[in-house]
Amino acid sequence: MAHPPSVDKLARSLAVTGLPHPLLVAAARAAIASAGPGDDGDAIEAAAHKHAYRRQRTMLQPVINATGVLLHTNLGRAPLAVETSADFLNLEHDLISGKRGSRQAAVGELVAAAAGAEAAIVVNNCAGAVLLTLAALAAGKGVTVGRGDLVEIGGGFRIPDVMNQSGARLIEVGTTNRTRLADYANGAEADGDVALSMSVHRSNYRITGFTEDTSVAELATLDAPVVADIGSGLLDASCPWLDGPPPSWLEGEPAARQTLAEGAALVLFSGDKLMGGPQAGIIAGRADLVSLCAKHPLARALRPGSLVLSAMQDIALSYLARDGQSIPFWAMATASVESLRGRADQIVAAIGDDRLTGTDAEATPGGGTLPGVAIASYGLKVDGDLTKSLRDQSLPIIARVEDQQTFLDLRTVHPDRDGEIEMGLRTALEPAK
């Protein structure tokens, strides 16, 4: 352009976005650089606002999950409220002795108590828990794993790859669909230097038909300690933190307490799935093995910070208090269909548009948990694809589309957000009137 506008003046006109000035300057420069010969000042200013808006929408921010996927990986899996003050924490300071303490001790003891384990430590995620366990207990030695357990988790990461990085030697036994106890025994005997037997829960797929698996209880009869990666993080199959019986959709899901009782030396699982906590990986079980993991050099590289540990402490205390309703995941997962229907009816009545109706729905656990499981739910349905308009709200609403109809499942929407759902739908429906 012969006479481009002032970058500083254009950036200042974007102050309403709330972004810091250096980001507004970048937006202004991008708009000027992309301007065409016929663009006037108004067009350039509009382009600058668009650049600033796009930058703003790429930043982390709260959203409303109306997809019906309880543990939506793209939306951070388990919802979690974290409140903290700008104070120091006794992260590695023993308040009783006044000496240096362990960041793992207090939180690890609480998680261990909730899981029925002798001891536990927390790392950054479940893949980290697998890596650290194998490195600490099986580096340079063999680990027997059934071929059907050699899973690929999210992002293309595979159990064999993680095992290779740990220094352990993979010993594949059995076949994809049938693996017997004798396969593990024969594999260990043939190798001659096996440190562990490993069981990996197929939490993101199912094998059906002509199948046979070896249970943890059976593996525990062999010489090598059993490490069970149960993945999804159910602490206790009896769900004592809930008022009623365990939800039927949990049937068959392995739980930490029961897996340890069956003979597993260690259980590994995620913190942000069925546990309902922050992203973390937990190693729980025999105190001597947990201690070896905690002393390994990788433990420092994989350790979580104070925010994660504080959140994990709060979650563990809720479990020990048997207060499942204070854990957001369990509150939304166990809400009755009747309560969801009542909320949907109120929103439909308030908007008063014939295109919007209540509808039965099926929510899913998601997050690589309980594949194929459906949870009865209820929500809202409206003709047309309104997902972009809903995403464009100041508090973005993430919905789904099927057969050119937009669905909002209320099981994954906190009741306090029904007002935002109503306003978002009003805005989305208005242009079409």
> Which two three-digit tokens encode residue 5?
């506008």
Which residue, among 245, 251, 184, has the nearest Cα to 214 in the 3D structure? 184
CB atoms within 10 A of CB 251: 10
Position 433 pLDDT exceeds 60: no
CATH for 64-78+335-432, options being 3.40.630.150, 3.40.50.300, 3.90.1150.10, 3.90.1150.180: 3.90.1150.180
Which residue, among 77, 125, 154, has the nearest Cα to 283 in the 3D structure? 125
> Do residues 145 and 171 lie in contact, with contact meaning Cβ atoms separated by under 8 Å?
yes
- Residue 366's pLDDT is 87
> Do residues 382 and 405 lie in contact, with contact meaning Cβ atoms separated by under 8 Å?
yes
Pairing of strands 397-398, 142-146: unpaired
The residue behind tokens 């600058």 is 48
CB atoms within 10 A of CB 49: 18
Stretch 87-99: mean pLDDT: 94
Task: Indicate the pLDDT class of residue 51, thresholds 50, 70 and 90.
Answer: very high
Q: What would the pLDDT profile of 99-132 be if each residue is shown by its tens digit?
A: 999 999 999 999 999 999 999 999 999 999 999 9
CB atoms within 10 A of CB 431: 8
CB atoms within 10 A of CB 336: 10
Length of the chain: 433
Stretch 258-274: mean pLDDT: 97
Position 432 pLDDT exceeds 60: no
For every residue of 327-342, DSSP letters joined together read: SHHHHHHT--HHHHHH
Average pLDDT, the chain: 93
Position 390 pLDDT exceeds 80: yes
- Residue 325's pLDDT is 95
- Residue 156's pLDDT is 63
Residues facing 405 on adjacent strands: 383, 402
How far CA 198 is from CA of 111, 366, 402, 403, 428, in Å, comes to 22, 24, 40, 43, 51
Same fold, 64-78+335-432 and 105-323: no
Distance CA 307, CA 287 (A): 25
For every residue of 39-64, DSSP letters joined together read: --HHHHHHHHHHHHHHHHHTS----E
Q: pTM here?
A: 0.92
Helix, strand, coil percentages, rounded to 5, for the chain: 40, 20, 40
CATH 2.60.40.420 fits 105-323, yes or no: no
Distance CA 419, CA 433 (A): 21
> Do residues 217 and 263 lie in contact, with contact meaning Cβ atoms separated by under 8 Å?
yes
Q: What would the pLDDT profile of 138-163 be if each residue is shown by its tens digit?
A: 999 999 999 888 877 666 668 888 88
Position 300 pLDDT exceeds 70: yes
Domain boundaries, the chain: 7-57, 64-78+335-432, 105-323
Phi-psi group of 14: left, alpha or beta (phi > 0 → left; psi -120 to 50 → alpha; rest → beta)? alpha
